[in-house]
Structure 1
Amino acid sequence: MGEFCQQFFTLLGALVCLSFLVRCIMFLKYLFPRAWRPLPQSFFRSMGEWAVVTGAGDGIGKAYALELAKRGLNIVMISRTLEKMQKVAFEIEKTTGRQVKTIQADFTKDDIYENIEDNIKGLEIGILVNNVGMLPWPNPCRFLSIPDNDKSVINCNITSATKMTRMVLKQMEQRRKGLILNISSGVGILPSPLYALYSASKAYVTSFSKALQAEYKSKGIIIQVVSPYGVSTAMTRHLKTNLFIKDANDFVRESLNYVTFGNETFGCLAHEIMGFVIKLIPLWVLHSERVQEKFLEVFSHLTEENQKMPKQMSVHKNQL
């Protein structure tokens, strides 16, 4: 019996080490994306003539619209704020010469999809970026401390990705090619206290995307979930960028290098490292009261630092 236990634990240890080694080797593809699986210049354009981007008026959505236009696609921008979209559309047309179509829609509502479908009818859509999303509350906090805007969050974060995917996937299946990028979040990878509703809604996006990729991979369609951690946008109150908080344009350019790397990515090397480390931490540690309080403290400090920046810049301009 003792010999059997020794052999069992030796085998178990070897399997754990082998699994960790494989993960480390697979991680190398993010260090050398062009060497691992280089994308031809025409890859994105080969998917189809048009890319549809939701939440395209600002932040990550705006960055995807600009970058995909630079890579040869015409753009359908869908967002709530028409004025922001028109500015981005003008910028795209001026800098890339691509066509831009704008559709005003509020994704917190559930009666908008018939109008969207009518407006994209007849377009050869090769890429869909389901980017639109909302935080229930700007700051991390416990569930009962935020207003009851559950339906708006569910419509914006869950219903939008589901409905838009159903709308566009039909023609991709017929043409046997297409790319769908569903923007989730790092807090959707694990149950995340202080972001309970947002985390759960993004977990849906993650699970939905992976299941669909298993269903449609054989039909030539790529469906990938992108789960960033910190990206400096209006939703994150334009946090100061650093090694781990990325500029939206930089994040998007890097994430597009990873579209053939599997059904899930964190979108950039820095966030891949964060995700790798966080997954090694036991869940009971992340869920402890002490960690939650420390997180609130750190976030409060970051917010205060971020709020000081415009004031300092304003003073500097006045001095000039």
Structure 2
Amino acid sequence: MTTDRGVLRWGVLGTGWIATAFLEGLRAVHGARVTAVGSRSAAAAERFADTWGIPNRHVGVTALAEDPDVDVVYIATPHSAHHAGTLACLAAGKHVLCEKPLAMNARQVTEMIGAARSHGRFLMEAMWTRFAPASRKISDLLAAGAIGELRMLIANFGNAVPYDPASRLWNPELGGGALLDLGVYPIALASHFLGDLTVVGVSGRLDPQGKVDAQSTVLVENRDGVTGLLACSLEAPLPNRVALIGTRGRIEVERWWCPTDFVLYRDGSEPEAYAFPHRANGYEHEAEEVARCIAAGEQESPLMPWAESLRIMRIMDEVRQRLGVVYPYADTP
């Protein structure tokens, strides 16, 4: 589903900062062309399109989904709109790259996967961490036994965000709270390196109105007893580091949600520093994987398969349930 000698035509749903960041990365991808943008506001669509030189401007998801000049849509809306936007685009015959988290709960993710399967279209959660060259190198080192057998993963992601109940970050109807915005990263990382997970324990703090999680700590383990200690916060600037600890060493990563470098510590050896600079800002890697999969006729990426997106969301559902966080519309069938 490409035109003009292999060009993949992208549409973008949403005009916020994440859409801007994605297009900055997309500039570095060979054969990618942005042909359309959609927004709830005509003015926002026009401004965004003028900035990026995008020819087709639409109000709403339906018009964008039905645009014949679009092959694949990048969903860059708030969490609460991922489900409906993805379903509309898949039904119109478009491939979809949807921002993380893929949806608000596992029920929605299941419906999105079913729609991609029934319409024969590609769908992937935009977990950009997974596609960074540094992340792939870490996977290779672990597989080669560079730190022995993995025994523990520690990952945290947190920032101090002023409390504002009018903000998307604190609004339960929009999927507010630390878990969906930041916690998805450490949970996805644990899923990637540890596989199937069991939630052993959850602790956290809710916002002043008791509606969303302001901070969460989650202990998980896999079937071999390898543990993951995961934390996210909208109240405190956490160290924002990852440590993968094995029987003969460890790997430490900073800015790990889309890493460019890390340090390998082997027992009895000098530290080994690795660097993998992005060509752009890191978003180019997930866009390249989308293009590769579509060209190969694959409906899902082996690096971020549907089953894993569902696994990650089921874990987040369990964490929310233990914390007592409910999303009013999404959690009502």
When the two structures are superposed, what TM-score results if normalisation uses the length of structure 1?
0.40
Bigger relative contact order (CA 8 A; separation at least 6): 2
Higher strand share: 2
When the two structures are superposed, what TM-score results if normalisation uses the length of structure 2?
0.39
Please say which structure displays the higher CA radius of gyration: 1
